[in-house]
Amino acid sequence: MRVFLTGGSGGIGSVIKTTLQNHNIEVISPTSQELDLKGNFDTSKYPVLDGFIHCAGINDVNSYDKIIPNDMLNSYKINTVSFIELCSKLNIKDKSNIVAIGSLYATQTKQGRSSYTMSKHALLGVVKTLAIEMSPKQIKVNMISPGFVDTPLTRKNLSEEKINYLNSNIPLGLTTPESIANTCKFLITQNEAITGQNLIIDSGYSLIGI
């Protein structure tokens, strides 16, 4: 089995990559230099695929009155438009699975997140639409939306006090990258009838709205 993965060097993407490889799945995961999702890119060199996971993304934080239009467009291009382009350009086998890594901000929001929320709301709409459009090929398209995930970036951006607060107040504590990766593995290798869905993996965060 061969899977194409974007964002394979990030805190979640790297664990997805390792998890798949540990189950004897070949992972093609180009760097951002090898595949510039902001520009025009060529996928003709990549072989036939058994699945595609879109984990690449950027999250620029700015209030609405300080947003730089180019930054907003880059977020939309990388987080959303490139997913559509890759689904169209990659040679994905019939009966395969496609997974987009979304976010709680695909259905919620927070101050300063206009660009990111816009892109993730749009990504969810794309996932639902492609699930219909690709169904004649029996290709399933789904989204996984993580909450607070215990990655190096999370620990860099949040104080130890905030980390401890989240672990104490989220019903199951911070979500592990392995939880996201294992769900990806299931969807890629075993899913036969789930399509157009947004699977929220947040350890219960969205239940209590802390």
Domains of the chain: 2-148+176-204 (3.40.50.720)
Question: pLDDT value at position 210?
Answer: 62
Q: Report pTM.
A: 0.93
Which two structure tokens, joined as six digits, stand for 192? 């036969």
With a CB cutoff of 8 Å and minimum separation 6, the contacts of 13 are: 5, 6, 7, 29, 55, 56, 101
Among the ranges given (6-15, 41-50, 66-75, 184-193), the one the predictor scored with the smallest mean pLDDT:
66-75
Among the ranges given (51-55, 60-64, 156-160, 185-189), the one the predictor scored with the smallest mean pLDDT:
60-64
- SS3 state at 143: strand
Which two structure tokens, joined as six digits, stand for 147? 């909450």
Does pLDDT of 179 surpass 80?
Answer: yes
Structure-model confidence comparison of residues 65 and 1, the more confident one: 1
β partners of residue 15 = none
- Residue 64: pLDDT band (50, 70, 90) is confident
Residue 65, judged by CB atoms within 10 A of its CB (0-12, 13-18, 19+), counts as exposed
Query: Catalytic: which of 64, 116, 165, 205?
Result: 116
CA–CA separation, 164 and 29 (whole Å) = 33
Given a contact cutoff of 8 angstroms between Cβ atoms, the answer to whether 53 and 6 are in contact is yes
Active-site residue, 46 included: no
Which two structure tokens, joined as six digits, stand for 202? 């947040």
